[in-house]
C-alpha cells in the first residue's frame, strides 16, 4: 500500500499522517506543487493507440531526482495544492505566461491522476464543488440543516435592502481567505458584523461580491470533523467577553479559546454524514452554531480543514489516529473503533519526525492558497 500526499513541505497534518502510516507499514510519497517547476519535474506520456496505448505519469524528487511512478499509489490525499511561482530568472514580461502554464499543467496532472480508480481524500471534482460556498449551503439545507438567511450579491441596493430587512443584524463573509501587508502590519479577512457606514460605498460593494447572512445568536459553536462515517464534535466557547464574537478564528491564538469533545444529537451527526455523502466527500470539517434555544445552524464545510489543533486542545480526541486508520483502510464507510489506537498527536510531537528536513524519501514535489494552521 502506498499513499501519495499532495501537500506543503511543512504541513504538520501531512507529516503527522505519513508518520502514522509508516507505523502501519505503509509507504508515503509527497508531491509539493510549490516546488514545481523550479525544483521538480513531472511527465505524462500517453500512447497513441486507443486499444493498446498506455498512460505513464512520473514525478521526480526535487533534491535527488529520484523517479516515482504514481501507478504505485492506491490512495491520494489532496491535502494542499499551491500555485506555482515563476522563476526569478525569467523576463518580467514572460512571468504571467509561465505561471499560467505551470498552474494549468498541475490542474491537468491532477485530472490524469483521477482517471484511474484510487481512494481519494477528497476526489478532485467533489472538492471543486465543495469549495463553492453557495453549493455548500444548498446541500446542507437539502439534508435537513437550518442555514442563516443568505444573500450572495454585488448589487449595492439589494445588499442594503437585505441589511435593513434584518434590522441591521447582518454579517459579511468573503468567498476566499485573504491576507495582505500594509506597512509593518498584516491583515486578514474574517467574518464581520456590518453597519450602515460599511455599506455606503457602492464601488466597494459592487467590485467585490460577497456573502451576506443574518446574524445568528450563539450559545457556542461546534467544529465537527467527519472521516468516513466517524464523527467527532468539539465545542468552541466563542462568545466569551473580550473575544471577537463574529468569527472564532480571530481568537484562535488566545489560550482561553479552549475546545473539548462534545456529544452531538444523533440527528445532527447523521446530517453531517449525509452532507458529505451528498457532496461526494469522504472527509470534511463542518462549522455549526448552537443558538441559545439549542438549534444547530450550519455555517460551512471545509473539505480539507485543519483538525490536529483540536487534539492539541483535547488530547483525548483521537483525530490523528482516526485519520491514519481511515486513510489506511481506504473506505468511505470507515468507522473508528476506540481502543485500537496505533498513534497519537502527542507521540508524534515527542518523536524526532519534526526535527528533519522534509523527508528525502518523500519523492516528488507537486501544491492552492493556505491560511494559518488553525484557521480553516
Can you give the pTM of this predicted structure? 0.85
Q: What CATH number labels 220-303?
A: 3.30.470.20
**Please, are residues 106 and 33 in contact by the beta-carbon 8 Å criterion?**
yes
pLDDT of residue 376 exceeding 70, the answer is: no
Which CATH architecture group holds 149-214? 2-Layer Sandwich (3.30)
Interval 111-133 mean pLDDT: 91
**pLDDT at residue number 300:** 94
User: Where exactly are the structural domains of the chain?
Assistant: 2-121, 149-214, 220-303
pLDDT level of residue 1 (50, 70, 90 thresholds):
confident
Which one is predicted more confidently, 34 or 121?
121
Which CATH architecture group holds 2-121? 3-Layer(aba) Sandwich (3.40)
**pLDDT at residue number 55:** 75
∠ CA 156-158-163, nearest 5°, is 95
* Fold: same for 2-121 and 220-303: no
**pLDDT at residue number 109:** 86
**Please, are residues 67 and 31 in contact by the beta-carbon 8 Å criterion?**
no
pLDDT level of residue 372 (50, 70, 90 thresholds):
very low
Mean confidence (pLDDT) of the chain: 83
Which one is predicted more confidently, 353 or 76?
76
Query: What nine digits make up the cell of 102?
Result: 505551470
pLDDT of residue 212 exceeding 90, the answer is: yes
**pLDDT at residue number 249:** 56
pLDDT level of residue 245 (50, 70, 90 thresholds):
very low
Interval 171-177 mean pLDDT: 84
% of the chain at pLDDT higher than 90: 47
Q: Which of 52-56, 241-245, 325-329, 361-365 has the lowest mean pLDDT?
A: 361-365
Q: What are the two backbone dihedrals, phi and then psi, of residue 106, each rounded to the nearest 5 degrees?
A: -60, -45
**pLDDT at residue number 240:** 62
Interval 1-24 mean pLDDT: 89
Q: Which of these, 308, 355, 344, 360, lies nearest to 23 by C-alpha position?
A: 344
pLDDT of residue 361 exceeding 60, the answer is: no
Query: Around Cβ 126, how many Cβ atoms within 10 Å?
Result: 18
Q: Which of 41-45, 52-56, 224-228, 325-329 has the lowest mean pLDDT?
A: 52-56
**pLDDT at residue number 368:** 25
Amino acid at each position: 500500500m502506498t499513499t501519495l500526499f499532495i501537500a506543503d513541505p511543512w504541513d504538520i497534518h501531512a507529516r503527522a499522517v505519513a508518520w502514522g502510516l509508516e507505523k502501519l507499514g505503509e509507504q508515503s510519497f509527497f508531491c509539493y506543487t510549490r516546488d514545481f517547476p523550479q525544483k521538480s519535474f513531472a511527465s505524462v506520456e500517453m500512447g497513441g493507440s486507443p486499444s493498446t496505448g498506455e498512460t505513464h505519469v512520473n514525478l521526480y524528487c526535487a533534491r535527488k531526482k529520484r523517479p516515482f511512478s504514481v501507478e504505485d499509489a492506491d490512495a491520494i490525499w489532496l491535502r494542499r495544492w499551491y500555485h506555482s511561482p515563476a522563476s526569478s530568472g525569467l523576463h518580467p514580461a514572460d512571468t504571467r505566461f509561465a505561471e499560467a502554464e505551470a498552474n494549468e499543467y498541475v490542474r491537468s496532472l491532477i485530472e490524469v491522476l483521477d482517471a484511474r480508480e484510487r481512494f481519494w481524500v477528497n476526489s478532485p471534482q467533489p472538492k471543486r464543488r465543495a469549495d463553492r460556498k453557495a453549493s455548500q449551503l444548498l446541500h446542507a439545507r437539502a439534508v435537513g440543516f437550518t442555514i442563516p438567511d443568505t444573500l450572495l450579491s454585488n448589487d449595492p441596493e439589494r445588499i442594503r435592502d437585505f441589511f435593513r430587512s434584518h434590522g441591521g443584524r447582518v454579517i459579511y463573509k468573503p468567498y476566499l481567505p485573504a491576507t495582505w501587508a500594509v506597512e509593518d502590519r498584516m491583515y486578514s479577512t474574517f467574518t464581520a458584523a456590518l453597519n450602515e457606514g460599511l455599506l455606503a460605498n457602492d464601488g466597494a460593494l459592487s467590485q467585490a461580491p460577497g456573502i451576506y447572512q443574518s446574524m445568528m445568536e450563539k450559545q457556542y459553536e461546534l467544529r465537527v470533523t467527519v472521516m468516513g462515517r466517524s464523527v467527532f464534535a468539539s465545542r468552541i466557547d466563542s462568545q466569551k467577553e473580550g473575544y471577537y464574537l463574529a468569527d472564532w478564528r480571530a481568537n484562535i491564538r488566545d489560550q482561553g479559546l479552549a475546545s473539548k469533545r462534545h456529544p452531538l444529537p444523533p440527528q445532527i451527526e447523521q446530517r453531517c454524514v449525509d452532507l458529505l455523502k451528498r457532496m461526494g466527500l469522504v472527509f470534511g470539517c463542518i462549522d455549526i452554531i448552537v443558538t441559545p434555544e439549542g438549534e444547530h445552524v450550519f455555517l460551512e464545510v471545509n473539505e480539507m480543514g485543519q483538525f490536529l489543533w483540536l487534539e492539541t486542545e483535547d488530547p483525548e480526541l483521537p483525530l490523528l489516529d482516526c485519520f491514519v486508520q481511515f486513510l489506511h483502510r481506504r473506505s468511505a464507510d470507515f468507522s473508528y473503533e476506540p481502543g485500537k489506537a496505533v498513534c497519537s498527536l502527542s507521540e508524534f510531537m515527542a518523536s524526532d519526525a519534526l526535527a528533519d528536513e522534509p523527508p528525502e524519501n518523500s519523492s516528488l514535489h507537486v501544491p492552492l492558497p493556505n491560511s494559518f494552521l488553525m484557521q480553516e
